[in-house]
Chain A
Amino acid sequence: MSDNRANGTKKMFFREAIAKAVREEMTHNSRIIILGQDVGAFGGSYREFDGLFAEFGAARVRDTPVAENASIGIGAGAAALGYRPLVSITYMDFLMLGFDPLINYAAKLRYKTAGKLTAPLVVKTTAGALAQGVAHSQCIEAWLMSVPGLKVVAPSTPADAYGLMKTALRADGPVVYVDHKRLFPIPGEVPIAESLIPLGQAIVRRSGSDVTLASHGYMVRIALEAAERLDGEGLSCEVIDLRSLAPLDVVTVAKSVAKTGALVTLEEGQPTCGVGVEVAARVSEASGPVLSARVGALPAPVSSNPVFEAACVPDATRLVDAVKKLLARSPRAKELSPRWS
């Protein structure tokens, strides 16, 4: 069977890991409610709420109209009154419609009321290109990272989806939980017993000594693919999965960069004012100048034309090239470059 009792894990789909987390937390806390398009009898746009409507009923699992601003606004208000709403926004592109209640109200509520009120709201959404065109493909995590009071997480495995969703549902303030659509077909081992993953804790997915690759979400898989290819050329990459973007685990990245001496960040979104520049800046603030490069989407919308889409978002080849180009400028260039030239 698929249970891996020795490790205390069970292999499951991404959506099942989310459903497990939400089911457990809804069982613990009757103030958790779900709001969103198709979250009810349909079971969620990605079936990530399968079975919850039947289990917890229409009062706690509520379908909303195509009205993202209202959904997040109601969620923020309900959170201020002591509920813990999980608002599902199917595509991150449409999170923009809910920025006013999310950013102006939910994220600032604790500050504005001198701590008398909080907004324990989770907005669950998806990012990333999957042949759906300019307004269903964007990754705007970096926009959210700059909002004081807002937390942002982006898992790359079902186990992290499970652990981060549970933590988000217990957090004090608003959390934006971001899945990448390309991760949904990929199953993974998830702890059978209840467990949480703290916010602000990155994880080293692959150890290496020549360069640090820092990424999040689906792009972690691209970083691992590039690391494998570079390993074949004699370059050793350390791959860090940030998991949480706000708060950001600078310590883990800085520790890695202290070892490797070089940092390449990878994100699917725009690199301008992106996750990568923030990571690089924080690492250099923490531990001095860093030899770094950033890789992200080309400065263009993500087309629904599959050729243009593939050209816009980063792939392993682009990352491999960026790593080699950076290391050619490294003080260790003479030592490293013969390995690939």
Chain B
Amino acid sequence: MIYSLTVPAAVPGVEEIRVLEWHGEPGKVFAVGDLIVELETHKAVVEARAGQPGVLRAIKADPGEWREIGLVLALFSDSADETLPEGDGSATELVIEFDVI
């Protein structure tokens, strides 16, 4: 199954974030609790961690790029050989946990 990692509504008043750093390349297998990506708001860094196991398949926003809340940052799948959909599609949302630091 394909999953999308979207920008979480982590900080009140924030409608848009900037990607700070990815913690893995496509192909990396993430376990629950692994840090996937750090996102930047006006006053905090949001750490998005895997809330379910999965394989990072495609990064849709590079460091320095901006994305609004709810937009897709990356695609994941259960196994490394599943075919990715065309475009961003309407994949199920990846379960994530986030910390605001």
A→B interface (CB under 8 Å)? 1-2, 11, 13-15, 46-47, 182, 184-187
B window 1-47: CB within 8 A of A: 11, 13-16, 18, 41-43
Besides the contacts A185-B15, A187-B66, what 15 more A-B pairs have beta carbons closer than 8 Å? A1-B65, A2-B64, A2-B65, A2-B66, A11-B66, A13-B42, A14-B42, A15-B42, A15-B43, A46-B42, A47-B42, A185-B13, A185-B14, A185-B41, A186-B15
A241 to chain B, nearest CB (A): 19
Question: Are B13 and A182 in touch, CB under 8 angstroms?
Answer: yes
Decide yes or no whether B62 CB sits under 8 A from chain A: yes
CA–CA, A15 and B18, complex, Å: 14
CB A215 to nearest CB in B, in angstroms, measures: 19
Q: In the bound complex, what is the Cα–Cα distance between A186 and B12 (angstroms)?
A: 11
- Residues in chain B near residue A11, CB distance under 8 A: 66
Pair A47/B43 contact, Cβ less than 8 Å: yes
Assembly CA distance A138 to B76 (angstroms): 47
Contacts of B64 in A (CB 8 A): 1-2
Bound complex: CA of A136 vs CA of B86, how far in Å? 50
Alpha-carbon separation in the docked complex, A68 to B42 (Å): 25
Q: For chain B, which range describes its interface: under 10, 10 to 19, 20 to 34, or 35 or more residues?
A: 10 to 19
Q: Least Cβ distance of B17 to chain A in Å?
A: 9
Q: Is the CB of A2 within 8 A of B18?
A: yes
Query: Complex: how many Å from CA A184 to CA B43?
Result: 9
Contact A187 B43 (CB under 8 A): no
Complex Cα distance A16/B101, Å? Answer: 19
- B43 CB, nearest partner CB in chain A, Å: 6
Contacts of A2 in B (CB 8 A): 18, 64-66
List A contacts of B11 (CB < 8 A). Answer: 185
What residues of chain B lie closer than 8 Å to A184, measured between beta carbons?
42-43
- B16: A residues at CB distance < 8 A: 186-187
A185 touches B65 (CB 8 A): no
Chain B interface residues toward A at CB < 8 A: 11, 13-16, 18, 41-43, 62, 64-66
Task: Give CA–CA (A14, B13) in the complex, Å.
Answer: 14
Compute how far the CA of A18 lies from the CA of B99 in the bound complex, rounded to whole angstroms.
27
Nearest 6 A-B pairs (CB), nearest first?
A: A185-B13, A185-B14, A184-B42, A13-B42, A185-B42, A1-B64
> Are B62 and A187 in contact (CB-based, < 8 A)?
no
Bound-complex Cα distance A46 to B44 (A): 10
Neighbouring A residues of B13 by C-beta, 8 Å: 182, 185
Task: State A46–B43 Cα separation when bound (angstroms).
Answer: 7
Which residues of chain A are near B42, meaning CB under 8 Å?
13-15, 46-47, 184-185, 187
Tell me how far the C-beta of A219 lies from the nearest C-beta in chain B, rounded to whole angstroms.
16
Smallest Cβ distance from A15 to chain B, in angstroms? 6
Least CB distance, B71 to chain A, in whole angstroms: 14
In the bound assembly, the distance between CA atoms of A2 and B43 in angstroms comes to 19
- Chosen A-B contacts, 11 in total, with CB atoms closer than 8 Å, are A1-B64, A11-B66, A13-B42, A46-B43, A47-B43, A184-B42, A185-B11, A185-B13, A185-B14, A187-B16, A187-B42
Give the complex CA separation of A15 and B11 in angstroms.
16
CB closest chain-A residue, reference B13: A185
Q: Which residues of B contact A186 (CB under 8 A)?
A: 15-16
Give the residue name and chain of the A residue nearest to B12 (CB).
Answer: A185
Instruction: Give Cα distance in the complex from A187 to B65, angstroms.
Output: 12
Give B16 Cβ to nearest chain A Cβ, in Å.
6
In the complex, chain A residues whose CB is within 8 Å of the CB of B66: 2, 11, 187
Min Cβ gap B89→A in Å is 24
Residue of B nearest to A10 (CB): B64
Once bound together, how far apart are the Cα atoms of A85 and B34, in whole Å? 46
Q: Nearest Cβ distance between residue B2 and chain A, in whole angstroms?
A: 27
Q: How far is the CA of A182 from the CA of B14 in the complex (A)?
A: 10
Question: Please, which residue of chain A has its CB at the minimum distance from the CB of B16?
Answer: A187
Min CB distance A1 to B, Å, is: 5
Distance in Å: Cβ of A3 to nearest Cβ of chain B: 8
- Inside 8 A of A187's CB, which chain B residues have their CB? 16, 18, 42, 66
Which residues of chain A come closer than 8 Å to B43, judged between CB atoms?
15, 46-47, 184-185
